[in-house]
Amino acid sequence: MPDTQKLSKVEAIKEGSRYLRGTIVEDLANESTPFSEADYQVLKFHGTYQQYDRDTATERKQRGLKKEYQCMVRVKIPGGRLSADQYLVVDALAGRYANGSLRITTRQGFQLYGVIKADLKATIADINATLLTTLGSCGDVVRNLTTNPAPIRDAVHTRLEEDARMLARELAPRTRAYHEIWIDGEKVDTGEEDREPLYGSTYLPRKFKIGLSTPDDNAIDVLTHDVGIIALFEGERLTGYNLALGGGFGMTHNKPKTYPRLATPIVFVEPDDLLRAVKAVIELQRDHGDRSDRRHARLKYLVDDKGAAWIKATLEDYFGAPLADPRPMGEFKVVDHMGWHAQGDGLWYLGVPVSSGRIVDRNGSKLRTALREVFESHRTDPILTPNQDIILSDIAPDDRAPIEALLRDHGVPFAEDWSPVKRWALACPALPTCGLALTEAERVKDSLISDIEQALARHGLADELLSVRITGCPNGCARPHNGDIGLVGRMPGYYVLYVGGDFAGTRLNTMLLDKVALKDIVP
Ligand code: SF4
């Protein structure tokens, strides 16, 4: 990092936080006030965002009342794999401390909403007690590792899953502050002795996303990651990995220096070199990423500003040896994992679509109750998909009919009940919880998709495979920029309409219209 950079405010907060302690303990003790701005920033690393109910904020202000502060808690689940027992714990927390829903994220994690400050410690402690964590699910570190969700029992899928777990374990923050604050309650040390061998005391310049895929099944949209790892196999033999660097969709309206970008394949690494090579990329970004302007801090800007040749040469310095050029990859495809599929070991998996990833009981569909009963009675392990759906894995042939009947009895729709455009649509949460939302996303998605379905039917295109992705702001959480249709919140009630991405996730879409009113989107 050049010495001349004037550091952003968040850099000073990180530096002064003593490895992510801040004054969270003191702040937690005062339940009647919101977290301070500095602790708000540090809390992200611990996996929680302080939010407020934006639906009630204006009216409450007029009445002289404070905003209704609450926290979103994000659970980090590498590859979206968790056990039935772990699921049931998170489900119980959703009822006890949150708003009665679990939300599957586009990065295979869970989010709980509406947790009040007084319940935050118990929520995070219970998540940890079930051997899940929230540490590093947000903040300027490596976020949740994504990978192919299919529980197919062959060498390819087994390797992807093992790599994702290994990377998640090796790249997790080492600070003891997390256990000190949320679990032990005792000071492990003063902070002086803590070390972050990979990250250092100021962590990374910005969030850092890693995903692991094969060209044959790009369910995770691998090129949207800071490091997109594309595993290359000959049959079931791993030959190595292409690392594509500099993906990311966040941008700011009217700031042309910010933009969505797909990752560029830069190097090929041997099977045994994956961790070392990924650490080298992280170190490169740690030392050279822009710490003065958070809007210019992602790896994608470094890749564009310095160029691929500089990135490769510098990466070789960190890696300590020459690195090969990326190898040819097959055509990228996205496989549909909804419905019933054989795992290859005599067992089955069932992909259940979840609108906007929201597991909740409503509108005649008791999805949350149904899933709870499936996990309680059949102990099948769930997998969260990057398309915000859920897979029920390891189902014995004799259990297929009873599980299907249980879900049907609770009014849970199956993949075949939904049109392709409905099945593949994504929406971020936006209002009323996200503080950055400029307009609605999840809450308008179902009616918008219904209108699009009707329009497609009128033109004889009801079975068209079409991805529609809606976000409430240009931060890009629902990957709007490589969908066939991307809708990005512009201002209340209005969107930017992008078109022309491809279904396999290899092409950015382009802006067709700016400031389109919600009612005009379908026409
Ligand atoms: Fe919030 Fe914007 Fe992300 Fe949607 S895309 S969840 S509005 S930050």
* Confidence (pLDDT) at 514: 97
pLDDT in the model for residue 452: 97
Ligand 1 atom with the shortest distance to the CA of 473: 2
Helix axes 299-306, 308-319, angle to 10 degrees: 110
Q: Is the pLDDT of residue 189 over 90?
A: no
Mean pLDDT across 143-163: 98
Indicate whether residue 428 lines ligand 1 (CB < 6 A).
yes
| Res. 55: pLDDT tops 70 | yes
Q: Which of 54, 445, 473, 487 to mutate to test the pocket of ligand 1 (most atoms within 8 A of CB)?
A: 473
The per-residue pLDDT of the chain, averaged, comes to 96
Q: What is the whole-number distance in angstroms between the Cα of residue 121 and the centre of ligand 1?
A: 25
Q: How confident is the model at residue 187 (pLDDT cuts 50, 70, 90)?
A: low
Residue 2: is its pLDDT beyond 80? no
Tokens 């201002």, residue located: 491
Cα-based torsion angle of the residue sequence 127, 128, 131, 132 in order, rounded to the nearest 10 degrees: 50
Strand 361-362 with 365-366, pairing:
antiparallel
Q: What is the pTM of this model?
A: 0.96
CB of 471 closer than 6 angstroms to any ligand 1 atom: yes
Percent of the chain predicted with pLDDT > 70 = 97
- Percent of residues, the chain, with pLDDT higher than 90: 96
Residue 178 confidence (pLDDT) above 90: yes
Rounded mean pLDDT, 381-406: 98
Confidence of residue 194 (pLDDT cuts 50, 70, 90): confident
Q: Note the residue count of the chain.
A: 523
Cα(496) to centroid(ligand 1), Å? 14
Q: What is the mean pLDDT of residues 454-465?
A: 96
Distance of CA 138 from the midpoint of ligand 1 (Å) = 13
Tell whether ligand 1 has an atom less than 6 A from the beta carbon of residue 436: yes
Q: What is the pLDDT of residues 68-111, one digit of tens each?
A: 999 999 999 999 999 999 999 999 999 999 999 999 999 999 99
CA dist 310 to 248, 296, 371, Å? Answer: 20, 18, 50
pLDDT at 193 over 80: no
Prior bond to 432 cis, omega within 30? yes
- Bridge partner list, 469: 426, 486
Cα dihedral value 350, 354, 360, 361, nearest 10 = -70
Is ligand 1 within 6 A of the CB of residue 437? yes
Q: Which of 127, 16, 17 is nearest to 71 (CA)?
A: 127
pLDDT, residue 4, reads 58
pLDDT for res 363: 79
Residue 331 CA to ligand 1 centre (angstroms): 31
49 CA distance to ligand 1 middle (Å): 12
What distance in angstroms lies between residue 216's CA and the mean position of ligand 1's atoms?
29
Cα separation of 392 and 399, whole Å?
11
CB distance 261 to 246 below 8 Å: yes
Q: How confident is the model at residue 36 (pLDDT cuts 50, 70, 90)?
A: very high
3 state SS of 480: helix
C-alpha distances in angstroms, 286 versus 125, 237, 254, 357, 501? Answer: 30, 33, 28, 33, 31
The answer to whether the CB of 427 is under 6 A from ligand 1 is: no
pLDDT of 308 > 70? The answer is: yes
Ligand 1, residues 105, 356, 436: which to mutate, most atoms within 8 A of Cβ?
A: 436
102-104: strand order across its sheet: 48-52, 69-75, 110-115, 102-104, 358-359
For ligand 1, is residue 441 a contact (CB within 6 Å)? yes
Nearest ligand 1 atom, CA 441: 4
Model pLDDT, residue 184: 78
pLDDT tens, position by position, 9-35: 999 999 999 999 999 999 999 999 999
Residue 489, pLDDT > 70, answer: yes
Residue nearest to atom 2 of ligand 1 (CA): 473
Say which range, 19-33, 187-201, 380-394, has the weakest mean pLDDT. Answer: 187-201
Task: Tell me whether strands 48-52 and 339-342 are parallel, antiparallel or unpaired.
Answer: unpaired
Average pLDDT over residues 305-318: 98
Is the predicted pLDDT of residue 192 greater than 80, yes or no? no
Supply the residue whose CA is at minimum distance from atom 3 of ligand 1: 477
Q: Catalogue the active-site residues.
A: 74, 143, 207, 209, 428, 434, 473, 477
Q: Which amino acid makes up residue 453?
A: E
**Is the CB of residue 134 below 6 angstroms from any atom belonging to ligand 1?**
no
Task: Give the per-residue pLDDT at 188.
Answer: 55
